[in-house]
A = this chain, B = another copy of it.
Amino acid sequence: MSTVKLVEYEDAGAEVKAVYDDIRQVRQTDFINNFWKALANYPATLERVWSAGKEVMAPGEIDAVTKEMVYIAVSVANACEYCVHSHTSAAFGKGMSETQYGELLAVIALAQQNNGLASGMQVPVDEVFLKE
């Protein structure tokens, strides 16, 4: 019972089907990945999470690939295996180059390292960072 059930389109209720249709429309593909099929067990959450994602990940003053890279960075720090896989795929799909991916990994690794050093030494925050 603890293994998540994946809701396929043909087994979904109207509310879920509407979200699936919108996913397909926005992404211009029939493919629905497992994250949404799992969330579909909870239609209200599915609807809210999809809506938020559609709004937040759309290009704004930050472009779509950069948003995916930020998403990957968070997912790596949180050790979310699914999210790392799905958003690395998404980033490449939206145009991230192999070189950019290598640079992304290097920045994530540097931040991880320095997070450890700053937290380890409990470095006091400089006054200048606290002023508006």
* A16 located at the interface, meaning its Cβ lies under 8 Å from any Cβ of chain B in the complex: no
* A19 located at the interface, meaning its Cβ lies under 8 Å from any Cβ of chain B in the complex: no
Contacts of A67 in B (CB 8 A): 103, 107
Task: Judge whether B71 and A110 touch: CB under 8 Å.
Answer: yes
Q: Which residues A59-76 have CB closer than 8 A to chain B?
A: 60-62, 66-67, 69-76
Task: Judge whether A116 and B120 touch: CB under 8 Å.
Answer: no
What are 23 of the A-B contact pairs (CB < 8 Å)?
A2-B92, A2-B130, A3-B85, A34-B125, A38-B121, A39-B121, A49-B117, A52-B110, A57-B107, A61-B97, A62-B103, A66-B66, A71-B110, A74-B77, A76-B116, A78-B115, A78-B119, A81-B125, A83-B114, A86-B125, A86-B129, A105-B117, A112-B112
